[in-house]
Structures are given as C-alpha cells and as structure tokens.
Structure 1
Amino acid sequence: MESQWIFNLLLVLQFVLLLALAVWAFRLSRKLKKFERSVHDAGLAQKKQVQVLASGSIGMGRRLVAIEKRLNMAVERQSELISKEGSSVSYNRAMELLEMGASVDDLVSKCGLIRAEAELISLLKKESRRNSNQSH
C-alpha cells in the first residue's frame, strides 16, 4: 500500500510539474507574441521614416534641378551680356579707328571683327559723313 501511495504522490507531482510547465510555456508564448508585435510596429515605423526621407530627397532633388536650370540660364545671360559688351566695345573702337583713317583690314586685325562687320561699319561711317556733309 505504501508503494501505491508513493506512486500516487509521484503521479500528482508529475501532474503539478506538467501544469507548471504548461503555464510557463503559455506565458513565454504571450511574451513572444508581444515581442513580435513590437518588432512589427518598429518595422512599420522605419518604413514610414524611409518613405518620408525618400519623398523629401525627391523634393530636394527636384529643387536642385530647378536651381541648376536657373543657374545655367543666368550664366548664359551673363555670357551674352559680356559678349554684347565686348562687341560694342569693339564697334566703338572700330568707329574711332575709322575716324583716324583706318582701313577695313585694320578693323579686322585690331578689333577682332569679321570682314563683313568691318565693311559694314566702314560703310555706315561713310554714309553718316555724307549725311552730315549734306545737312551743312
């Protein structure tokens, strides 16, 4: 009978141990699910941050492209202005040389004008002399 009692005691102990193990496994399972949810939420938050950064980068890229276009246009305008200033200086210099009796070849070599420009300036100067002589 004593062996029966020990056997029953061992059986109860096994049952209690099995019940404790089941409770521990259940709690561990709940902690694991909670951890999975927090990892999932962190992943979603990171995705949102990446999307915000990507859209910000795209917007910044578009702004940079627009600024680059404006800068290129400004550089082109500046080059045009410099070129116009340079040519007007050349034309003024050519007029001065013509008044001093320079030839078309002199205008080409000294003012950097092409031959057609030098001939045109020379003709204009002659025409303005004729007009001024006729009005007197």
Structure 2
Amino acid sequence: MESQWIFNLLLVLQFVFIIALAVWSFRLSSKLKHSMKEQEKADANQKKQVQVLASGSIGMGRRLVAIEKKLNIAVERQSEIISKESTGGVSYNRAMELLEMGATVDDLVSKCGLIRAEAELISLLKSESRRNSDHPYS
C-alpha cells in the first residue's frame, strides 16, 4: 500500500510539474509575442525615419545640383565679362593713344571696335582732360 501511495504522490507531483511548466511556457510565449510586436513597431518607425531622411537627402541633392549648375553659369559669365573687359580695356587704351596722335571719332570706331557713342565719350573726356591740364586752376 505504501508503494501505491508513493506512486500516487509521484503522479500528482508530475502533474503539478507539467501544469507549472505549461503556465510558465504560456507566459513566456505571451512575453515573446509582446516583444515581437514592440520590435515590429520599432522597425516600422525606423523605416519611416529612414524614408524621410532619404527623401530629404534626395531633395537636398537635387538642390545642390541646381545650385552647382547656376554657379557654373555664373562663373562662365564672369569669365566672359572679364575677357570682354580686358579686351575692352585694350580698346580704350588704344583709343586714348590714337586720340593723342590726333585721331578722329570715326578713326576710333573703325580701329578700336567701339560704338560711336563710346568713341565720342572718350574723345570728350580726352578734350576735357586737356583743358583741365592746360588751365589747372580754372
């Protein structure tokens, strides 16, 4: 009888152990599911943030390309202006030299590539300069 009693006790203990193991595994499973949901939410949030950053970067890249194009155009224009000024400066210097040698406005137009108004202005400035140097205190 005593062996029957021990057997029944062991059987009850096994049953209690199996129930405890089932409850523990159920709780562990629910915690794992909850952690997986939280991880999925965090992953989705990170995906959204990456998409926002990527679209912002793409937009900024496009703006930089546009600015770079504008800068290149400005540099080209500046180079053109400088080259025109340097050739224009030579024309004006040449025009002043020709005026000192007695050239006319028509000579300046034909030899220096100036328009008539520029040639007349240079001639006028040169004549005023001569007058002021002839009469410094007038």
The residue that corresponds to 2:27 in the other structure is: 27
The correspondence for 1:121, drawn from 111, 114, 124, is 111
Aligned letter for 2:29?
A: S
* Displacement after TM superposition at 1:69 (Å): 1.1
Q: Return structure 1 stretches of 4+ with deviation > 2 angstroms.
A: 96-101
Aligned-partner residue type, residue 17 of structure 1: F
How far is the alpha carbon of 1:80 from its aligned partner? Answer: 1.6
State the identity %: 64
Q: Equivalent residue for 1:44?
A: 44
Q: How big is the alpha-carbon RMSD for the aligned residues of Structure 1 and Structure 2?
A: 2.4
Residue in structure 2 matched with residue 14 of structure 1 by the alignment = 14
Per the normalisation by structure 1, the TM-score is: 0.71
Count residues in correspondence.
109
Corresponding position of 2:4: 4
> Any gaps of 5 or more consecutive residues in structure 1?
102-119, 129-136
Where does the alignment leave 5 or more consecutive residues of structure 2 unmatched? 102-109, 120-138
The alpha-carbon distance between structure 1 residues 123 and 27, as it changes in their structure 2 partners (threshold 3 A), is closer
2:46 is paired with a residue whose SS is helix
2:60 counterpart residue number: 60
Q: Which moved more, 1:11-20 or 1:38-47?
A: 38-47
Q: Distance in 1 between matches of 2:113 and 2:14?
A: 123
Cα shift at 1:44: 1.3
Using structure 2 for the length normalisation, give the TM-score: 0.70
